[in-house]
Amino acid sequence: MRPPHRVWAEIDLAALRHNLARIRRAAGRRQVWPVLKANAYGHGAVAVARTCAAAGAPRLGVGDSGEALDLREGGIETPLLVLGTVIDAEVPALLRHRVEVGVHSESRVRMLGAAARRAGVRLGVHLKIDTGMGRLGVRPEAAVRVARAVAEEPALELRGVMTHYASPDGCLDPATAEQTEVFRRALAEIAAAGLSLPPIHAANSAVLFTAGEPFGDAVRPGIALYGILPSGLPGAAKLRPVLSLRAQIVFLKDVPAGTPVGYGGRWRSTGSKTRLAVLPIGYNDGLPYRLGAEGRGAALVRGRRCPIVGAISMDYCTIDVSRVEGVQVGDVATLVGGDGDERIRVQEVAEAAGTIPYEITCSLGARVRRIPVDRTEPAAAGPAAAAAAFLGA
Ligand SMILES: *Cc1c(COP(=O)(O)O)cnc(C)c1O
């Protein structure tokens, strides 16, 4: 039977739980606060949040108040933290849905305090200190002032002090230790000013997997949850990829040598008979344009690797299936994930497209159906099993 979707992403919840367990082991006594911003890095935030909440995650990180709202509407009651900042128009939703937010200036503290008082609620905030990222966050020398402003505002409650690391290499980069040192000094000043310290949180995935003892009381892993670590970092092999991206073949045809394919005709067939398959997935769905333009992409069909040929369009791309025996319309093509003995990893796609894995998963388009798959048998993996899972479920 042909799959019921043109293009879909299978989200392997068993792999997610496996990765959470690995993360917990690396975190030791620290709390693990999974990061689900950007729709859980493109994986679909509600299903990921449910899995994390069921595994006991005490807090989840999101990117903005809209994402927090989506989780509340999806029935997630776990404390939520907007990791960055919010604009004024988002504040009523934060207050209504008990969503915490990072603060990094006295004026922000006053504004949030006034809004919380008017609403008659107490708003949880996390003081964000810039220790070297150079983006959001109060400068370390001003941290005490902002911490005091929070302490003096009865409608605000300081629930965390945080910083964010800049290096993709975690503790393998000396800049990370320097940031920790700046953070430590700022925390010591806050304590010396007689202000009580709430939970301290700093480590992202890269730091968590490279530090013997990550600094702080809680860690905020994102990419590792999804089974990905920036390449070369220790621990990557022990994580399991959560995402598979698949499409079904919608058209097949045989073309003679010299046939141009796609916009600009930048690729031409060479063999005397080339079999082309059209897939209903394009750059709008998150397949990077550069994969086609530079002839670097591939898809798996019936366990064989097939090159993407010609430019990737908005809605479609074309692959060369000449070497696939018995290929048919309706066959599953895997752009990310495993099929038989072959596997295409997100890291591989990112490298081929000249970007980072984060951008690949976050760019999955709205048309891509996210299908949570909860298979406990790893042996059952693969497009056929997945198709059976959502047809039979
Ligand atoms: C995205 C994010 C994280 C998670 O980073 P990963 O590299 O995906 O582990 C942690 N903290 C903050 C503030 C973030 O924005």
The CATH number for 384's domain is: 2.40.37.10
Residues 77 and 149 in one domain: yes
Residues 265 and 220 in one domain: no
- Residues contacting ligand 1 via CB (< 6 Å): 35, 37, 83, 164, 204-206, 220-224
Tell me the best of 220, 226, 231, 346 to mutate to test the pocket of ligand 1, counting ligand atoms within 8 Å of each CB and taking the most: 220
Give the number of domains in the chain.
Answer: 2
Residues 183 and 254 in one domain: no
* Residues belonging to the active site: 37, 263
Position 381 pLDDT exceeds 70: no
Residues 42 and 71 in one domain: yes
Question: CATH no. for residue 154?
Answer: 3.20.20.10
In a domain, residue 86? The reply is yes
% of the chain beyond a pLDDT of 90: 90
Residues 157 and 259 in one domain: no
Tell me the best of 36, 127, 204, 239 to mutate to test the pocket of ligand 1, counting ligand atoms within 8 Å of each CB and taking the most: 204
The parent domain of residue 282 ranges over 243-390
In a domain, residue 7? The reply is no
Task: Give CA–CA dist 145/127, Å, rounded.
Answer: 11
pLDDT digits (tens, 9 = 90+) for 31-88: 999 999 999 999 999 999 999 999 999 999 999 999 999 999 999 999 999 998 999 9
Atom from ligand 1 closest to the CA of residue 220: 10
pLDDT digits (tens, 9 = 90+) for 317-333: 999 999 999 999 999 99
Residues 215 and 290 in one domain: no
Q: What is the pTM of this model?
A: 0.94
In a domain, residue 6? The reply is no
In a domain, residue 143? The reply is yes
Domain end residue (candidates: 226, 258, 284): 226
Tell me which residue has its CA closest to atom 1 in ligand 1.
222
In a domain, residue 381? The reply is yes
Atom from ligand 1 closest to the CA of residue 41: 8
Q: Of 271 and 166, which is predicted with more confidence?
A: 166
